Structure 1
């Protein structure tokens, strides 16, 4: 199994061939005779919503690393081996914003597959949490140049840019607790 399309067998290094298997085009090693599965990378994110403001606001981060440097997203990232999705979301939130929540207060906002980038497919589980259940003040951490709460109206008036795939989740999170 690989996260990007493979040209060579990860076991023996032989150049892969293309076959049809299970009615789909797959890559296969002619030496090992194994199909090299190309699977999506699991990710998790969490939207912390501050409902005590005049207009609900969602904690977001400005990307400091590719892809999307300078664009705003919900805090999140890749799950690690053996890590539960909620634990990954909580870890990424703390790494990127300094804000912490317990995994058991997270509610599922949704799940989505992102369009592939350089052959890499990502599937993300999106969570939401109430700011009342969080501790810490937002500050930019790893992968972020800024961390702050945005209401949809304030974001729209700012001239800032959201990563397109994340903007729908941002807006859904802002109204989640209504």
Structure 2
């Protein structure tokens, strides 16, 4: 299994051939006779919502590393081997923002398959949590240049941009916990 389209067998290095298998075009190693599965990468994110003001605010990060440098996102990233999705979301939140939340306090917001970038497909489980269930003040962490709470109207008044798909989750999270 590979996360990006393969040209060579990851086991023996032989050039792959395209075959039809299970009614889909797939890559196969003619030497090993193995089908090389191109599967999506599992990711998890969490939107922390602060409802203490007149308008709900959502914790977001500005990306400091590719892809999407300078774009705003909901904190999240790749799941580790053996890691539950909620645990991954909580870990990524703390790594990127310094804000900690118990994975048991997370609620599922959505799950989505994102459009591929450079052949890499991602499936993300999006969670949401109340600010009251989180600890710490936002500070930019591993993949972020900035971490802060935004209200939808504050964001709309700027010329900042969200990574594709993340703005939809930002607005959906802001509407939670009415």
- Where on the TM-score scale, by shorter chain, does this alignment land: which range? over 0.9
Q: Number of paired residues?
A: 178
Tell me which residue corresponds to 1:126.
126
Tell me which residue corresponds to 1:177.
177
SS in 1 for 2:170: helix
Tell me which residue corresponds to 1:139.
139
Correspondence list, 1:78-117, <5 A: 78-117=78-117
Unaligned runs of 5+ in 1: none
Tell me which residue corresponds to 2:157.
157
Moved beyond 6 Å, runs of 4+: none
Distance 2:32 2:151 in 1: 54
Distance 2:107 2:6 in 1: 36
Unaligned runs of 5+ in 2: none
CA RMSD of aligned residues (A): 0.5
Structure 1 residue 64: Cα displacement: 0.4
Distance 1:162 1:119 in 2: 21
Query: What's the CA shift string for 1:115-142, capped at 9, x where partnerless?
Result: 1111000000000000000000001011
Distance 2:80 2:118 in 1: 21
Structure 1 residue 89: Cα displacement: 0.3
Query: What's the CA shift string for 1:62-88, capped at 9, x where partnerless?
Result: 000111111100000000111110000
